[in-house]
Amino acid sequence: MTSATRPLTDAAFLSAAGTVRHRHIAVEGPIGVGKSSLAQRLADVLGYQAVLEQPEANPFLERFYRNPPDHALATQLFFLFQRSAQVDRLHRPVPAMVADFLLDRDRLFARANLDDDEFALYEQVYRQTALDAPAPDLVLYLQAPAAVLHERIQQRGTPWEQGIELAYLERINEAYSQFFLYYDAAPLLIVNAAEIDFAHSDRDFQHLVDHLGHIHSGRHYFNPTVS
């Protein structure tokens, strides 16, 4: 059995997972970077609840990628209500979980995609909606160049994503960089995900899990070698 096909119950994974003390982990990054796959795998190994975005449930998203100016506001508001509902369903105290989004990151996309009047309206709704979002104990921010994101999106072949343009991904990457430049609400691990595959490579994934056990505060960087 090869390294890439070992089951997740392998003792090495369980040993590494046992060093992770964070009870609420958020995995963030632009579309195509692999955040949902990583969040699900972390949840599986740690025995946590996975709280994942559901982009396929947004009826405006495909229309947004075809014609952003006409459908950006509806798309953003739908996602805001969806994520707020997911947060509201969490019990207090917050259960051990891995999410593939930060609720306060939603404004990043709104600012990048809405005009000034739409953003002002969005901000009014946001202030009424996002007041009770629990802060994570750890945030993983996955980075990759726009060209890498674009290639991955094309390879996975999701129909409504195929119209995403490279220029849009570059704009979103820049927005993410600015957002996390000043982020200090939780310990932050910035991960170079350009050439690694956390979802399918046991080696890459185990190195990351090993690293998580050493993060307790501040800002950290993870640049793994290619498998």
Comparing 100 with 2, the larger pLDDT belongs to 100
Express each pLDDT in 175-206 by its tens digit.
999 999 989 999 999 999 998 888 778 888 88
pLDDT of 1 reads 35
Express each pLDDT in 54-88 by its tens digit.
998 999 999 998 899 999 999 999 999 998 888 87
Contact present, 17 and 53 (Cβ < 8 Å): no
User: Rounded mean pLDDT of 104-114?
Assistant: 90
The residues, ordered by sequence, that sit 6+ positions from 204 with a Cβ below 8 Å of its Cβ are 196, 197, 198, 224, 227
Provide, rounded to the nearest whole percent, the portion of the chain with pLDDT above 90: 52
User: Rounded mean pLDDT of 146-172?
Assistant: 90
Distance in angstroms (rounded) separating the CA atoms of residues 152 and 6: 24
| Paired residues of 191 in beta bridges | 142, 222
Contact present, 10 and 122 (Cβ < 8 Å): no
Distance in angstroms (rounded) separating the CA atoms of residues 1 and 140: 30
Q: Is the model's pLDDT at 2 over the cut of 60? A: no
Contact present, 110 and 76 (Cβ < 8 Å): yes
In this structure, of 143-147, 178-182, 221-225, the range with the lowest mean pLDDT score is: 221-225
The token pair that represents 168 in the structure block? 């849009």
pLDDT of 199 reads 78
Q: Which helix (H) or strand (E) holds 82?
A: helix 68-88
pLDDT of 131 reads 61
Please report the domains of the chain, with CATH numbers, ordered by start residue: 3-222 (3.40.50.300)
Q: Starting at the earlier edge strand, list the strands of the sheet with 24-28.
A: 49-51, 97-99, 24-28, 138-143, 188-192, 219-222
pLDDT of 51 reads 92
pLDDT of 110 reads 93
Quick one: 2 exposed, middle or buried, by C-beta within 10 A (0-12, 13-18, 19+)? exposed
Distance in angstroms (rounded) separating the CA atoms of residues 156 and 72: 24
Express each pLDDT in 5-32 by its tens digit.
344 444 555 555 556 778 899 999 999 9
